[in-house]
Amino acid sequence: MKSGHFRILLLALTSVILGINESNAGWAVRYVYDGLSGTAITNLTEGTNELGEVMFPDGYTTSEILPPAFDVRDFSTYVNDAEPNDYGSYIPAYIQAPQTGEYTFWVRSDDSSQLWLSTDEDPINKQLVASVPDGQWSPEWDSFAEQRSEPVKLEKGEVYYVEILHKEAVHGDFVEVGWQLPDGTLQRPMPVDYVQPSISPLWDDFMGVYTDPSIVDGPYASPSSAVKEAELVTLYADFYASQPATYQWYKNGAPISGATLCSYTFRAELGDDGNSYTVKVTNANGQSVESSWDVFLTVFADTVPPRIDSASCTLNPYEVTLEFSERVNETEATNPGNYSLDPATVNFTEANLLDDGKTVVLTVDEMLQPGNVYTVNISGIHDLASSPNPAVNDPPAKLSITDGMIQYFYYWDIAGMTTNDILDNARYQSEDYDETGFATSLMLPWGVAENYIGQVKGYVTPPESGDYTCCFGKRADAKKIWAWAAQRRWL
Ligand SMILES: [Ca+2]
Ligand SMILES: [Ca+2]
Ligand SMILES: [Ca+2]
């Protein structure tokens, strides 16, 4: 196996060199096995080349680095007769969980694929969690139920072995992994920010000789080492260490409490200006290496006032969405008294700040009138600068109310076919509906359910004066028609 070791060494070095050219948080290595026909995963794991030899796992043809995501091709160049054909892919790697909680994983591919996840860093405990069935292919995330994993509980900071197997026969080809984090963040494809390449099983022999961990590239700061105060900064590096490795980030030579993931994200403060950051990685054998250079951070004071980038009211005429140019003070932004409309025909009763910290959803007490243009005024709202800048109405935010919104209501589990079954119903009379929402056309869809009352109501603004003829479409029974006819109002 001497020649085998030599080949692995060469490819490992090639990977290292590629890693230097591609700066990303995390990385993985994909092994490619050419000359294997068939669409099933077993055609990769048990298939033979033209010499009758099983190639998997040691006899791979080429390898490549996988930043910035678990995605082995560019979708924009995807065509149905794409070369190459008759090959398989194998991506063994480690994921360090950035949060504690339940994760969901997806895989999609052309042709079939399997996603294996271990209960810890040991490949021996791997379990099949998602797959595109043997002999199938899936351009979508949800073509097969098997493509989505059951919820998997992972612990923040723990390292888990993960493995992707992929088989391509002919025509288009790709494989891609997605995940949803415990906080609800959906990333499809999944970036390799918290991924490090596997050393075992392929590189076990090689790394048995060469066990020192190394920092292949980095550390770096993203989006930049020069940022505005309150901006998010991520420090990252590409590591090369037997797993489970541990990480510690340092500020001015002192360990930062809690900064023990393979990347470190924080909000820069003015006081961070001039700080230097380093990282140390310790491999499974307890051997450590520190980064050979520091990241020096420059933090600028924020003197730019926030303004409203957009004001919109799309489907819900009781709801206005404002998007600020930057994150704003939460207490101030959620006070409905800090907003007003001109003309002042309605009042804001509620203000909710979304997770991005800069989008505010406002509720009004009266329906906004279609065709109107309102000016949104704000006061008493500041950004998050250390010397907070007050938000400005410059230029004034204009809110144009879209025509053509209609509100619908559903009352479920109500039998009958006549209009009296609607009008005599106590729940209908007290407007005790089960579901409501807004639509852009004056209709309810077919085949929603059995035994229900559906109602749409709103206002019609005639575009010109004269005689109009109302025409109801072909109906299944009376309830659908009467619901609208009984409630229609003309302005
Ligand atoms: Ca192909
Ligand atoms: Ca294919
Ligand atoms: Ca600002």
Predicted TM-score (pTM) of this structure: 0.68
Same domain? 379 vs 412: no
**Distance (Å) from CA 124 to ligand 2 centroid:** 30
Same domain? 362 vs 426: no
**CATH code of the domain containing 227:** 2.60.40.10
Same domain? 40 vs 148: yes
Which residue, among 244, 245, 233, has the nearest Cα to 280 in the 3D structure? 245
Same domain? 219 vs 174: no
pLDDT of 391:
96
**Angle at the Cα of 78 from the Cα atoms of 75 and 79, rounded to 5 degrees:** 165
Same domain? 26 vs 155: yes
Q: Ligand nearest 384 Cα, by number?
A: 3
Which residue, among 155, 166, 72, has the nearest Cα to 121 in the 3D structure? 155
Q: Ligand nearest 383 Cα, by number?
A: 3
Same domain? 121 vs 185: yes
**Distance (Å) from CA 77 to ligand 1 centroid:** 12
**CATH code of the domain containing 147:** 2.60.120
List of the chain residues with pLDDT < 50: 1-23, 75-77, 200-201, 204-210, 474-491
Same domain? 454 vs 427: yes
**Helix (H) or strand (E) segment spanning residue 419:** helix 419-423
Q: Which domain holds residue 272?
A: 211-300
**Distance (Å) from CA 172 to ligand 1 centroid:** 4
Which of 380, 400, 420 represents a domain boundary (last residue)? 400
**Distance (Å) from CA 23 to ligand 1 centroid:** 28
Same domain? 410 vs 395: no
Q: Ligand nearest 38 Cα, by number?
A: 2
pLDDT of 206:
44
Q: Ligand nearest 77 Cα, by number?
A: 1
Same domain? 286 vs 329: no
pLDDT of 392:
94
Q: How many domains does the chain have?
A: 4
**Distance (Å) from CA 167 to ligand 2 centroid:** 8
Same domain? 167 vs 281: no
Same domain? 50 vs 189: yes
Residue 215's contacts (CB-CB under 8 Å, 6 or more residues apart) are 237, 238, 239, 240, 279, 281, 289, 290, 291, 292
- Cα 457 to the center of its chain, rounded Å: 36
**Distance (Å) from CA 77 to ligand 2 centroid:** 14
pLDDT of 25:
67
Q: Is 473 helix (H, G, I), strand (E, B) or coil?
A: coil
Which of 172, 205, 238 represents a domain boundary (last residue)? 205
| Residue 273 backbone dihedrals phi, psi, to 5 degrees | -60, 125
